Amino acid sequence: MGNGSMIGLGVLLFLCIWGAIALLIANLIGKKLLKRFTKDAEGRTTSKGVLIILVVRVLVFFAPIADEIISYPAYSKMCQDAGKYEFAPNMDEKKVFGREYRIEEEDKKLIRLFPTFQTLHPEDNSNSGVVIETTKLKLIDDNTNETLLTTRTAKPLRSFFAMPWDGKRIPWLLHECSDVLGKNGGESQKYIRSLQMRLKYHLN
């Protein structure tokens, strides 16, 4: 069984367990704290009470990823630029057509999206908040060492309840939003292929 299947089973198992716990918590809140709002004089649950309890259940269920939900709009905005290519100075479609290239990284940054938006020190290993990593990538001609194009990637590193897996922490809602190697068939990568550029791999 591959890693993808194992992750999927782990997520499903967690959701089932947490769903049961969230239902229990929501029912306790409804019975103990919200009784006056959900019951009539005879102790029967009102239609308004049913709606309140339903809302409480939804809020409790999604509470563990509230930080990711709040961070999603800002991260989504970053993703709009991730994977889009810009020509380096003095470069255009004709000059980069058919070239062999390698990818180099620079200007790597850690950015906290929640609870405050700020750039972190590269050595900051704290687990608080939603933290992403942005990296500038350069497509460099493998023969002439000229920079042909540049792009950026955005990758979530952690959130409060990110799922631990294989030495990493995988956020539930936020996912890497770049297509530099064409794994997702993105439009930007199709554009690179239309230029007949070829990625050259170097073995370390």
Is 160 a domain residue?
A: yes
Residues 77 and 31 in one domain: no
Tokens of 1: 């069984």
pLDDT band at 178 (very low <50, low <70, confident <90, very high): low
Residues 76 and 14 in one domain: no
| Interval 115-159: pLDDT, tens | 888 888 877 666 578 999 999 999 999 999 999 999 888 889 889
Q: Among 17, 39, 64, which residue terminates a domain?
A: 64
Residues 103 and 11 in one domain: no
Structural domain harbouring 44: 3-64
Is 176 a domain residue?
A: yes
pTM of the model: 0.75
* Domain total of the chain: 2
Q: Among 47, 64, 81, which residue terminates a domain?
A: 64
| Interval 1-41: pLDDT, tens | 555 566 667 778 888 888 888 888 888 887 776 777 777 77
Residues 112 and 187 in one domain: yes
Is 98 a domain residue?
A: yes
Which residues 6+ apart lie within 8 Å of 143 measured at CB? 99, 100
Tokens of 17: 């367990």
Residues 40 and 78 in one domain: no
CB 122, CB 152: distance < 8 Å: no
Residues 159 and 142 in one domain: yes
Residues 129 and 172 in one domain: yes
Residues 44 and 113 in one domain: no
Residues 59 and 126 in one domain: no
Q: Among 64, 95, 115, which residue terminates a domain?
A: 64
Is 22 a domain residue?
A: yes
Is 204 a domain residue?
A: no
Q: Count Cβ atoms below 10 Å from residue 157 Cβ, excluding itself.
A: 18
Is 87 a domain residue?
A: yes
Is 170 a domain residue?
A: yes
Residues 178 and 162 in one domain: yes
Per the prediction, the chain carries an average pLDDT of 82
Residues 53 and 143 in one domain: no
Residues 124 and 195 in one domain: yes
41 DSSP 8-state letter: T
Is 153 a domain residue?
A: yes
Question: Rounded distance, CA 198 to CA 88, Å?
Answer: 17
In this predicted structure, the answer to whether residue 87 has a pLDDT above a threshold of 90 is yes
